[in-house]
Structure 1
């Protein structure tokens, strides 16, 4: 037997899509509730086990009762978790953006003397760099956050 497109009317397609959407929505809600049960730090293990058994064994009634009894706090717990994740992410970004620590004066002088001994810099350049290291007037390793980088272009004459 061959089915044609007109054997499945448009209203049936609508109802099928609606039921499929509700089915997916149901599983999303079920998994969010199960996640919330484990996320709640105020509940002890027996309470978590009881709610979990209630939600799994009697899913429709368990989800309905859970949303009525603890639905308001679900949002608060989710917001607090999102804020904690944002704080951790911001701390990671600050730590990563800070870069490596600034080398000590002794390390800088050692590096400068190696450059001079290899012939990469002249005695005059070594003296100027040594004076900068000893007076600690070195430029910062990285610009402060939010400041645009300065180009290494020499100024043009006449401007």
Structure 2
């Protein structure tokens, strides 16, 4: 219990934990970049991993200095690719086709949730979307 009585010991533990966590983040970033790089030969990847295992701190510094620019470019490309994939997925999921809207309106009408006038309005709205898309495609 003597260890926790000194403020400097507590500060040293906090700083040590911070440095260790920062090192782990850098290490996992390097390993991720190694497997993301399609231009690097498999033997070079294995060599980097062996050096990371036996001489981790120096190898991490050498890797960041030698391949840091390419690492940031690959990371940027992966982030942009992921963002585009998410946007494409959201676009495909969020846009219902007019036939889907008419089918949903028909199901609501059959269930008695909406009346005939509301069904006709929803169907007309869906048909207007089809006509507006066809008109914009012709222009």
Give the TM-score taking structure 2 as reference length: 0.69
| CA positional deviation for 1:92 | 0.7
Say if 2:39 is the partner of 1:48. no
Q: Give CA deviations for 1:70-95 in whole Å, capped at 9, x if unaligned.
A: 01111111111000001111111111
Residue of structure 2 equivalent to 1:25: 22
Cα RMSD after superposing both structures: 3.2
| CA positional deviation for 1:140 | 2.3
In structure 2, which of residues 88, 91, 94 is the aligned counterpart of residue 94 of structure 1? Answer: 91
Give 5+ residue unaligned stretches, structure 1.
Answer: 145-159
Aligned partners of 2:33 and 2:71 also within 8 Å: yes
| CA positional deviation for 1:101 | 5.0
State how many pairs are aligned.
Answer: 117
| CA positional deviation for 1:41 | 1.3
Give 5+ residue unaligned stretches, structure 2.
Answer: 134-139
Say if 2:129 is the partner of 1:140. yes
CA distance 1:70–1:4, shift in 2 (3 Å): closer
Greater RCO, CA 8 A, separation 6+: 2
Q: Give CA deviations for 1:119-147 in whole Å, capped at 9, x if unaligned.
A: x85xxx8xxx6xx98xxx93327xx9xxx
Cα distance between partner residues in 1 of 2:78 and 2:45: 18
Within-5 A mapping of 1:47-126: 47-100=44-97, 102=99
Cα distance between partner residues in 1 of 2:2 and 2:59: 42
SS of the equivalent of 1:78 reads helix
Runs of at least 4 residues of structure 1 off by over 2 A? 100-103, 137-141
Cα distance between partner residues in 1 of 2:127 and 2:22: 60
| CA positional deviation for 1:47 | 1.5
Q: Say which structure is richer in helix.
A: 2
Residue of structure 2 equivalent to 1:147: none
